[in-house]
Structure formats: C-alpha cells, structure tokens
Amino acid sequence: MTQTPRSHIRNFSIVAHIDHGKSTLADRLIQMTGSLEEREMKEQILDAMDIERERGITIKANTVRLEYDAADGEHYVLNLIDTPGHVDFAYEVSRSLAACEGSLLVVDASQGVEAQTLANVYQAIDNDHEIVTVLNKVDLPAADVERVKAQVEEVIGLDASDAIEISAKTGQGVDQVLEAIVRHLPPPAEGERDAPLKALLVDSWYDAYLGVVVLVRIVDGQMKKGQTIRMMGTGAKYQVDRVAALTPKLVVIPELGPGEIGVFTASIKEVADTRVGDTITEDKRPTEKMLPGFKPAQPVVFCGLFPVDAADFEDLRAAIGKLRLNDASFSYEMETSAALGFGFRCGFLGLLHLEIIQERLAREFDLDLIATAPSVVYRMTLTDGSETELHNPADMPDVVKIATIEEPWIKATIMTPDDYLGAILQLCQERRGIQTDLAYGGSRAMVTYELPLNEVVFDFYDRLKSISKGYASFDYQIEGYREGDLVKMSILVNEEPVDALSMLVHRSAAEKRGRVMCEKLKDLIPRHMFRIPIQAAIGGKVIARETISAMRKDVTAKCYGGDVTRKRKLLEKQKEGKKKMRQFGRVEIPQEAFIQVLKVDS
C-alpha cells in the first residue's frame, strides 16, 4: 500500500437512532468499494457478536477502512466507524466521534427524528463534526421524505434541503453517499509526519491468537513494526509486533501515518492495560502533551450475579474475567449472600448492558445465573461527617448513623406521537419526575423530564414502550446527585430477613412496593407444614404482610364415635407440634421465586 496523502483521507462515523439502518448502510459501503468479495459478504458484516445479529442492534463500535476511487479520478481512503444507537452504549459513540472529523446522520424516512438521533447528533456537533444528512428507507410505502426533512430542520436545526435520499437495503442512492463523504467531509486536521508519535487509543479487544488488538487514531508521527511505544497514562512500554488496517479483515501494512486509523498488536496480555482514551507515544522520543482523552465509563446500575448451582462459582469467576477482557466498562467485585451463596456484585452502564452481559454469560459460558434486583449508586453522608458510596442495599449502615442519602438523577428526553402524551406524562409523574420542557414538532411531542435513576432502572423503559405501543423513544444523561427521603425496605420470610430482596425505596412508594412484593412471594413460595408470615418492613415497622397457610393433615380421621374430648386432645397436640415446627422449621424459597420477584412490575 502506498502512503495516502492526508488530503485524501476521510474519517467519519455513522450516527442514528436504533434500527434506522446504520449497519445496513455500512454493509452497502463495504460492498460498493469492493473491500470484501461477494462470497465474503453477509448481512450486518460489522456486527460480529451473535447477540448483535439476533437482536439487530450494534453493541461494539466497529471500524473498517474503505478504498474509493471518486468521480474526479482521485483515490481516497475512507475510515468508517459504525456506532451503536442504544443509550446504554453512548460512551462507545463518544469515543468513536473523537477519532473522526465528520458524521453521516442517518434518519429513517418513515419514523423521523427520534430521541437517540438527537442525543448522538449533538455529541457529533460537540466534537465539531461536519454532518451529512442521509434519509434512509425511502423505498418503504410509509416513507414521508418532506415531513422528515422539515423535522430535521425544526428539531435538530440542520439544513436538510440537500439531504441524500437512499435505501440502504436495495442500494439505491448509496453512490451519492460516497461522493458526499469525499466532497463535504473535511480531511484530518494538521499532523506532522516527522514529529514524535502521538496517537489516541480509541478501542481495544482481545483476540485468542494475537493477544490484545488496539485501535488507534494517529495524530502526529508514524507507527511502524518494531517500534518501542509507551502508554502515557499507565507508563507501560511495548514493542509493536504488527501494524494493520481493518478492511474488515486484518490486513498488515508497513506503517500508519498522521490522520490514519488502524490497529496494532504488541504482545499485550490484558485489555485492562490499554486504557481507552490514553495517548500512545514513542518511548525514546515522547510527545510533550497528552491528548485530552475521554471520561472513563461510569457504571450507573449495579446488581448481584450468583450461580444457581454453588459449584459453578469458579466457572462464573473465569467467565466474568474473560468478558472483562473485551468490555472495560463492566466492573465487578466478589460478594456473599445468606440466601444465594457466593457471587459477584457487577456494575453496568444501564439495563440493556446488564441484560447483554447476562445473556453472554449464559450463552458463551453455559452458566445458569440469578441476578438480584438492580440498584443504583447512592451517596451517604454519615453523622460523623464522612461520605461513602452504597452499591448494595444490604450493606446499608444503621439509620441512626446516616445524616443524608443522595440519589442520582437523570435528564430524560422522550419523543412520542402526541396520542400517547397523556399516559407518558402520568408515568413520569408516578416515578417522581419533574417536567422541565414540552415542545411540539408536527404530530410529535418532545418532553424533557428530570427523574430519579432509581425509578428508571426497574421497568420504566418497558412500561414506556407498552403504553406508547412501541412508538416512544427515550434517551437520558446523568445530571448529578440530589438528596432524597430514601428508606431501606427489608423482606422477612418467617421473621427471617432475606438479604437478596432488600432494596432502597422512596418513603412515599415503600408501602405500595412492599405490598406487591409480599403478594408475589405468597404465590411463589410453596406451602409448608406450618404457617409462614411474609412481611415487608422499614426498620422495625412492618408495612405490608401476607400469610401462607399451613398444609393440614386430618389427625382425627381414625377417631370415630366416642367423646368429643378425644378429638380435641389430638387437635391440641397437633397445634403444639406446628408451633414447635414453626420455631425451628426452615422455609425453602425456590430459586424461581427469587427470579420472579425481582422482575418487579408496577
């Protein structure tokens, strides 16, 4: 490969809402530039994971280098990064955008602008990107191009008069997209070929044969095989084994120059050693200033993962360790629970992230897991003035020692057809939401709410989808912490607390939540030979109670005729036995009961 002049390089990403056709457009671009032969092509070529393909979502941002001969006869190198659309993976989007100069904004011509479209395009604008608007799915009968163009101008504020109309599925209009990338998107900014190496670490993943593969964007200097490099953040040194481009296959190239995006391997053992956003430089001739990098991904939802069979604990430890290799945003620490045995407390970026990790553990490592109720990170100020974070409600100190508890709040943007607006506003009010804005564009409304994250992590997204028949879209960002009247609700079964079911709730919602949990457990725990009380309590005060009645044996069956006192004597004896049994008897709560109760519905 000859060295491409910087003016002929274009680095761009594709941003859009979930399901608006990013990955399909990427497929067409790969196909039209001939990066893969026809026999190697398949649907969603950049979505490598089985889960991505089945659910039809992108989880990891993926990169591909395309060679393109433009209409003016010039040869260009296009580096495309396909980004996820889901809110949980917004940090993947922010990393990808920092490595590019331009974005293709893809909008579904039948559905129009959605919440995630807004969030992702604003991230691109924050990164000073040039934006080319692409209207996809124009071949659908429901497509309304003029309405969507008006919407892009009204809601986002971008000029959509020259938006490119395409169908990524059929390939109609995709050649115009390639020309627009070359014409409208800028080449990489200034970069000195002879300056010391300065490269941004965009992503890294683990390969069983090559070790850690690192994706970099070169700003200054060049990277070659045999070079000794240093990670400026961690101070670690490595020797480069190979430098390659992804076309999506790994193609070894002699060097990477300024403005280029590519990968290298250097016998790195752990993905944790390659911090995303770090600056890579030469060991002998380091650059003076580090690049600004990215904010580290902060887990916002925590939950415990326990093996159903305690003997699988070591397998779970190994599996979680392997997943951590490829997903630096996932954190974990060991914990024990009286009800569930040994397991791990894991931190996730959101509920979809939690679900994906759980599914990958079940699928790729064949593990049966129980997840405890998801909870968020609370900040506590104790009476002695010290501050501490609380990840697990079971670890909450005595109420007397706590001065204040703060919980995380989010700013949520919901876009919905106005038919469902009333029900959505009611849902947000129920969840202690504070409305900050309501705007109309055509027949759609955009409403902004401040909500406690605690109320969103349970089933807010499912409820929102069901009341809007799937038409509403939702996006959020963390706003900060606020003080709240929060209490720890414990569930007692036969007067024994079950730590896996304890949770922090707002005082106003505690009674309702407690009643629901007790009613569910009453149906799920099988009857025993003695009566079992199920209680929800805050501190020493019981706020809800259900009782599972005892199974009874008819002890008077063999007693026919004669005096009634004989029967009474037998019944009294049975009653004494039940009392003793209840004192010493253990209630077996089946695993299914835990799983069912933790799927809290309103």
Binding residues: 19-24, 136-139
Q: Partners of 13 in the beta sheet?
A: 81, 103
Of 109, 18, 110, 33, the closest CA to residue 64 belongs to: 33
Q: Torsion angle, CA of 346/351/353/356, rounded to 10 degrees? A: 100
Annotated binding-site residues for GTP read 19-24, 136-139
- Write down the residue that tokens 């070359």 correspond to: 182
Both tokens assigned to 478: 């963390």
Give the C-alpha separation, 231 to 278, whole Å. 7
In a 10 Å sphere around its CB, with 0-12 CB exposed, 13-18 middle and 19+ buried, how is residue 188 labelled? buried
Q: Tell me how far apart the alpha carbons of residues 136 and 193 are, in angstroms, rounded to a whole number.
A: 39
Question: What does DSSP assign to residue 172?
Answer: B
Question: Positive or negative, the Cα torsion across 530, 531, 532, 538?
Answer: negative
Distance CA 243, CA 220 (A): 16
State the angle between helix axes of 313-326 and 351-364 in degrees (0 to 180), rounded to the nearest 10: 120
Q: CA of 333: how far to CAs of 113, 357, 369, 454, in Å?
A: 40, 15, 16, 21
Token pair listed for 207: 């390969």
Which helix H or strand E contains 14, and what residues bound it?
A: strand 9-15
Angle value at C-alpha 596, between 426 and 534, nearest 5 degrees: 90
* CA distances in angstroms from 88 to 151, 167, 312, listed in the order given: 25, 27, 29
Residue ranges in 406-506 assigned as alpha helix (H)? 421-430, 453-457, 460-467
> CA torsion, points 143, 145, 147, 153, in degrees to nearest 10?
140
CA atoms within 13 A on the CB side of 298: 9
| Geometric angle at alpha carbon 187, from 183 and 189, rounded to 5° | 150
Who contacts 545 (Cβ-Cβ below 8 Å, separation ≥6)?
518, 533, 534, 535, 536
**From CA 17, how far away is CA 23, in angstroms rounded?**
12
170/159 Cα distance (integer angstroms):
26
Whether the bond between 248 and the residue before it is cis, its omega within 30 degrees of 0, is: yes
